[in-house]
Amino acid sequence: MEPGTEVRLEVSRPAAARRGTVLLLHGMGGSAESCYLRHTAAAALDRGWAAVRMNHRNCGGTEGRCRTLANGGQSEDVGMVLRALDGAGFPRPLAAIGFSLGGNVVLRWAGMAGEGAIADRVAGVNAPVDLEGCCAALERPPNWPYQAFFVSMLCRHVRRVRALRSVPGPAAIPAMIRTVRRFDTSFTAPDAGLPTAEAYYAWGSAAAHLPGVKVPGLVLSTENDPFVPLTLFAPHRAAASPTLQWQHPARGGHLGHRPEMTAALLEWLE
């Protein structure tokens, strides 16, 4: 991606005819082995697509290959990987599909790249396009179990990285960090060169870039996602690019991945 930083791809190729290549990006704290990525890759393979699962920076065993932590604004990583796949002769069309924070990364990249986007299609699934709004939703009392889960996972991640290199900031102990906002204040924002978590959320959110998307795109998010509510999209939908489609199934939670959602995603892809 840049000097001292690499990402790892897991590549699966169909045995028969190739319909194209789909690049899949996981959510915060996940990896190429996350179940929703593997499930989607398997379904794409069955339909004849080459499936490439991308590990974000410091994820999937790349802790020793990166100088920076992963964040929701590292959109150019998507462009660099797609260009590498295209240069290596992977079949077109090229599609990029991101899940949760990976969806924000993909949509942000597509909006910033505009007419220069190498992808032929892009999609964000349960994507927190407004990072501040998503963080505020996580801070509601009913969502504290999710908050605790993410903080514990993120702190473990920092400890794994610290076993290999220095990471500035306080002790990565969930009982001390407590919230995703405090984690981003202590680690994500400073690592990205930003003064506060709020500055990181403003910089890294895809919402402001949705008008710039020029390729066919899909925003697929469920009505009952507990911390990416539909109200997150409402202020931005009217100004978004007309190339974007919006689908909001009633059920599925956050990356619950009911079979009908996977089917809808792949049918749209084709």
In tens, the pLDDT along 24-43 reads: 999 998 899 999 999 999 99
User: Is residue 132 within 8 Å of 123, Cβ to Cβ?
Assistant: no
* Alpha helices (H) along the chain: 35-46, 76-87, 101-113, 131-138, 144-162, 174-177, 180-183, 189-191, 197-204, 234-237, 259-269
CATH number at residue 213: 3.40.50.1820
Please tell me the distance from the alpha carbon of residue 128 to that of residue 141, in angstroms, as a whole number.
Answer: 19
Number of H helices, E strands in the chain: 11, 7
Please tell me the distance from the alpha carbon of residue 121 to that of residue 62, in angstroms, as a whole number.
Answer: 27
Q: What is the mean pLDDT of the chain?
A: 93
Contacts of 47 (CB under 8 A, 6+ apart): 19, 266, 270
In a domain, 159, yes or no: no
160: which 2 tokens?
A: 């794994």
147: which 2 tokens?
A: 């908050």
Average pLDDT over residues 180-201: 97
Structure confidence by residue, pLDDT tens digits, 102-151 = 999 999 999 999 999 999 999 999 999 999 999 999 999 999 999 999 99
Q: Strand 9-12 to strand 49-54: parallel, antiparallel, or no bridges (unpaired)?
A: antiparallel
Judged against a pLDDT cut of 70, whether residue 17 lies above it is answered with: no
Sheet strands side by side (includes 20-25): 9-12, 49-54, 20-25, 94-99, 121-125, 217-220, 244-247
In a domain, 174, yes or no: no
In a domain, 91, yes or no: yes
Of the listed ranges 7-21, 155-169, 182-196, the one predicted with least confidence: 7-21
In a domain, 143, yes or no: no
pLDDT of 262 reads 85
In a domain, 150, yes or no: no
pLDDT of 190 reads 97
What's at 181, amino acid-wise?
R
Structure confidence by residue, pLDDT tens digits, 53-112 = 999 998 888 888 888 999 999 999 999 999 999 999 999 999 999 999 999 999 999 999
pLDDT of 210 reads 97
In a domain, 147, yes or no: no
Counting the structural domains of the chain, the total is 1
C-alpha distances out from residue 234 to 72, 227, 229, 239, 264, Å: 20, 15, 10, 10, 22
pTM of the model: 0.94
In a domain, 179, yes or no: no
In a domain, 162, yes or no: no
**For residue 258, what are the domain limits?**
9-130+206-269
The neighbour count for residue 65, using CB atoms within 10 Å, is 16
Percentage of the residues of the chain whose pLDDT score is greater than 90: 77
User: Is residue 239 within 8 Å of 127, Cβ to Cβ?
Assistant: no
